[in-house]
Amino acid sequence: MQSSNPVFKRGYAALENRGGTAVAPSTEELNDLYNAPAASSIRTGRMTIDDVVARTALLFAVLVGVGALAWTLQLGGGALLIGFLGAMGLGLYLSFSQKIKPGLTITYAALQGLALGTLSQMYETAYDGIVGQALVATIAAIAGVLWAYKSKRIRVTPKFTRVLIGALFGYLILAVGSLIGSFFGLGNGMGLYGLSGLGPLLAVAGVALATFFLVLDFDQIEKMIASGAPQEQSWRAGFGLMVTIVWLYLEVLRLISILRRD
């Protein structure tokens, strides 16, 4: 089962072009991967979990660093627009690019940091302490999902994937409908979640979807490692994780703001 995330689809495509086969790892294979020494990727040229952790940590270090600077400087709406539009455009390019581009991936992290730092500062001004609450909730969600996945309490099956994709489409339709309704005077100042009845429900749905999409990301990374994906694909894995985690943080931030406003 290939991932619905185009970032990881490219990873499978690159593996298949090298003559590999994307198959689900066995329990023994996963144990070997996690017990393997960190230098194994240097010897084999294949991606390891250490590679993914290192690339993901680097990307988030850039994001947090730029975000902290943007927060301190209080750059305003212009920086927010530049960051989000730049990250959106570059993110789409990286998602569908066949080549791994570490420099552009780091640039994406910097643009996300610019946008998130500016936006978070705006939220903090409106709701004191909200960013700390959102960060704690996001980290807790990531840790909880990772624990549930590693302990096999959540299993990725074709049905699980189809349900998530269907839920995502339903969520997008409702969100767009809510946004359009707000333009026609049906909203109450909730921004994207314009309709008062849909606002909290869409926010909760967004948090749930982003959380469960992390499960798909973890699953696809394990499959890529077990299938012998080249080491450079760890950049793609780190980028894919960043996309989902940023989405989760934004949904949590929005949900808390709605609850505090009400």
Looking at the predicted structure, is the pLDDT value of residue 40 above 60? no
pLDDT in tens, 133-155: 999 999 999 999 999 988 888 88
Q: Which residues contact 238 (CB under 8 A, 6 or more apart)?
A: 52, 55, 56, 58, 59, 105
Q: How far from chain centre, in Å, is Cα 104?
A: 17
pLDDT score at 198: 64
Report helix, strand or coil for 49.
helix
* Segment 65-77 mean pLDDT: 91
Mean pLDDT of 74-84: 89
Quote the CA–CA distance of 244 and 247 in Å, as a whole number.
5
Q: Which of 66-75, 192-201, 227-236 has the lowest mean pLDDT?
A: 192-201
Q: What is the pLDDT of residue 29?
A: 52
Q: Please give the structure tokens belonging to residue 132.
A: 């700390």
Query: 104 or 31, which is more confident?
Result: 104
Question: Is the predicted pLDDT of residue 167 greater than 60, yes or no?
Answer: yes
Poorest-pLDDT segment among 10-14, 105-109, 181-185: 10-14
**pLDDT average, residue stretch 76-83:** 90
Name, of 45-49, 51-55, 170-174, the range with top average pLDDT.
51-55
Say if residue 1's pLDDT is above 60: no
Query: Beta-strand (E) ranges in 44-193?
Result: none
Report the 10 Å Cβ neighbour count for 126.
11
Q: How far apart are alpha carbons 183 and 178 in whole angstroms? A: 9
Mean pLDDT of 117-146: 93
What digits encode the pLDDT tens for the residues 232-254?
A: 899 999 999 999 999 999 999 98
Q: Determine the pLDDT at residue 186.
A: 46
Q: Is the pLDDT of residue 166 over 50?
A: yes
Q: How far apart are CA 117 and CA 69, in angstroms?
A: 7
Distance CA 203, CA 95 (A): 25
When pLDDT is averaged across residues 226-232 and rounded to a whole number, the result is 89
Cα separation, 196 vs 130, in Å, equals 21
Q: Which of 71-80, 172-181, 203-212 has the lowest mean pLDDT?
A: 172-181
Contacts of 212 (CB under 8 A, 6+ apart): 145, 164
Question: Coil, helix or strand for 208?
Answer: helix
% of the chain beyond a pLDDT of 90: 45
**At a CB cut-off of 8 Å and minimum separation 6, what does 188 contact?**
194, 195, 196, 199
Query: Considering the chain, what is the average pLDDT of its residues?
Result: 80
